[in-house]
């Protein structure tokens, strides 16, 4: 056997196991407590699957489809979820801390007690989503669509909600301390009992919005610059207590004659 015959070349072929995992649809499957941590699953199809308590920490899931899936208690810390679909998904107690969910769609998603602390959710759609008791502390939600969203008792302290849409948002007792709502559209919204100290409302648009029982309304920033497209509601007790500290232009914009 000569030297040329003895020389062999090894060609690494595709990993059949990994290839099967990447191409197989994961829709409608029972994957509770499954770990997908760190995996690259761009555009994966998880529609209707049971993914409760699943681990997606650090996973790449851009454009993934979770429509109708049960993701209660799932972990998405630092995951890449840009453009992912969560329409009608169950996300109770799901954790998105530090995740990138920009342009993601959460239409009608159940997100009670979900944690979006420091998440990047720019231009994300939370239309008619249920975010009761959710945490959005320091989340970056510029341009987000929260039309019809329920934010009862949600903690949005320090969140960037600039240019967000909160039309028909139901947000009694929401915490907006030090949040930015610059240029936000706040129409037919319920902010009864909201915490507004340090909330930046510069250039926001108000109309038919309820701001009753907002005991720190006078500590909000930019009240004088709000654009009132229709009268809003302020309760008598709050007006009597804070009236002197509220800008005359803001009072007039609410539709209150002095």
* pLDDT tens, residue order, the chain (258 aa): 444 444 433 333 443 334 334 545 899 999 999 999 999 999 999 999 999 999 999 999 999 999 999 999 999 999 999 999 999 999 999 999 999 999 999 999 999 999 999 999 999 999 999 999 999 999 999 999 999 999 999 999 999 999 999 999 999 999 999 999 999 999 999 999 999 999 999 999 999 999 999 999 999 999 999 999 999 999 999 898 888 889 999 999 988 876
59: nearest Cα among 20, 101, 2 = 101
pTM, full prediction: 0.88
Strand order in the sheet with 205-207: 185-187, 205-207, 227-228
Give the CA dihedral 115, 118, 120, 126, nearest 10 degrees. Answer: 30
Which token pair is 141? 């939600």
Q: What is the pLDDT of residue 258?
A: 65
Whole-number Å distance between alpha carbons of 38 and 231:
50
How many other β-carbons are positioned within 10 Å of the β-carbon of residue 10?
5
Q: What phi, psi does 219 have (nearest 5°)?
A: -100, 0
29: nearest Cα among 53, 52, 48 = 48
Contact indicator for 248, 258 with CB cutoff of 8 Å: yes
Contact indicator for 173, 193 with CB cutoff of 8 Å: yes
Whole-number Å distance between alpha carbons of 112 and 170:
14
Q: What is the pLDDT of residue 6?
A: 44
């Amino acid at each position: 056997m000569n030297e040329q015959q003895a020389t062999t070349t090894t060609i690494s072929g595709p990993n059949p196991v990994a290839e099967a995992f990447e191409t197989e649809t994961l829709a409608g499957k029972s994957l509770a407590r499954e770990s997908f941590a760190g995996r690259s699953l761009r555009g994966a199809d998880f529609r209707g699957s049971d993914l409760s308590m699943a681990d997606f920490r650090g996973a790449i899931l851009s454009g993934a489809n979770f429509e109708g899936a049960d993701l209660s208690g799932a972990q998405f810390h630092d995951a890449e979820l840009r453009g992912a679909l969560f329409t009608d998904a169950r996300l109770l107690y799901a954790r998105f801390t530090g995740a990138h969910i920009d342009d993601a769609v959460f239409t009608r998603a159940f997100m009670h007690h979900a944690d979006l602390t420091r998440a990047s959710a720019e231009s994300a759609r939370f239309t008619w989503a249920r975010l009761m008791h959710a945490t959005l502390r320091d989340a970056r939600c510029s341009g987000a669509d929260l039309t019809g969203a329920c934010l009862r008792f949600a903690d949005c302290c320090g969140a960037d909600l600039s240019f967000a849409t909160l039309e028909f948002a139901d947000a009694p007792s929401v915490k907006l301390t030090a949040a930015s709502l610059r240029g936000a559209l706040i129409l037919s919204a319920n902010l009864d009992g909201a915490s507004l100290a340090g909330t930046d409302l510069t250039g926001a648009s108000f109309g038919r919005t309820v701001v009753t029982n907002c005991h720190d309304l006078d500590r909000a920033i930019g009240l004088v610059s709000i654009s009132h497209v229709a009268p809003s509601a302020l309760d008598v007790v709050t007006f009597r207590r804070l009236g002197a500290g509220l800008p005359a232009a803001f009072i007039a914009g609410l539709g209150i004659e002095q």
